[in-house]
Chains A and B, each alone.
Chain A
Amino acid sequence: AQTVTQSQPEMSVQEAETVTLSCTYDTSESDYYLFWYKQPPSRQMILVIRQEAYKQQNATENRFSVNFQKAAKSFSLKISDSQLGDAAMYFCAYRSANTGNQFYFGTGTSLTVIP
């Protein structure tokens, strides 16, 4: 099974500053998808951003962007101009493009935004 590793259990950022959350994964596949989900205190999982492995261009969604390094199997999330509402648990997830639809999640990073 694929493994997803988030090495930062907790991170904090000052409001309006930029923070980067790390994610690495282990796979022998070449075609897959990567995701970042946000889980606020309400516990609902909300999609933040996704990346197709065949695309070299890093995905961007407003203040959220990723740094996808396929060779290094790294998929970090950058949050620019951090807002109080960004405080949440962030999960990195992997999904194969060929061998099943299940998601493999990392253990999460708890992000605190300091006013």
Chain B
Amino acid sequence: EPEVTQTPSHQVTQMGQEVILRCVPISNHLYFYWYRQILGQKVEFLVSFYNNEISEKSEIFDDQFSVERPDGSNFTLKIRSTKLEDSAMYFCATTGTEEETQYFGPGTRLLVL
């Protein structure tokens, strides 16, 4: 069964550093999402992406964040200057064209020191 993959599985970074989280969607999926889950809290929506542009974003998704699909396969989330409060699990999710279900990747655990 096809699945969403994410790399790295874990990342530790220093505050102020840039990080890039990568996601490989299911091959025929066209809608992409990033969510985050701070430890012990609920999963929160960050951004959705379709047709090479952002279609929705939450208030969490400020100017420090950006997304792109650089090579037509990977879907990336960049955090320009990480803060301590960016420490969380980041999930990528994807959806096919005529589908409501979002399929989640295994997540990247980001720790900002």
Contacts and interface: CB of A to CB of B under 8 A. Distances in A.
A104 B43 CA distance: 8
A84 interface: no
Contact of A37 (B33, B56, B104, B106): B104
Contact of B101 (A35, A44, A102, A104): A35
Contacts of A108: 42
A37 B44 CA distance: 14
A93 B31 CA distance: 18
Interface string B65-108: 00000000000000000000000010101010000111111110
Interface in A67-115: 91, 93, 95, 97, 100-108
Contact of A91 (B43, B103, B109): B43
Contacts of B45: 102-104
A95 B100 contact: yes
Interface-central residue, B48, B101, B103, by most chain A CB under 10 Å:
B101
A33 B106 contact: no
B106 A101 contact: no
Contacts of A42: 106
Interface in B31-70: 31, 33, 35, 41-45, 48, 55-56, 58
A29 B111 CA distance: 38
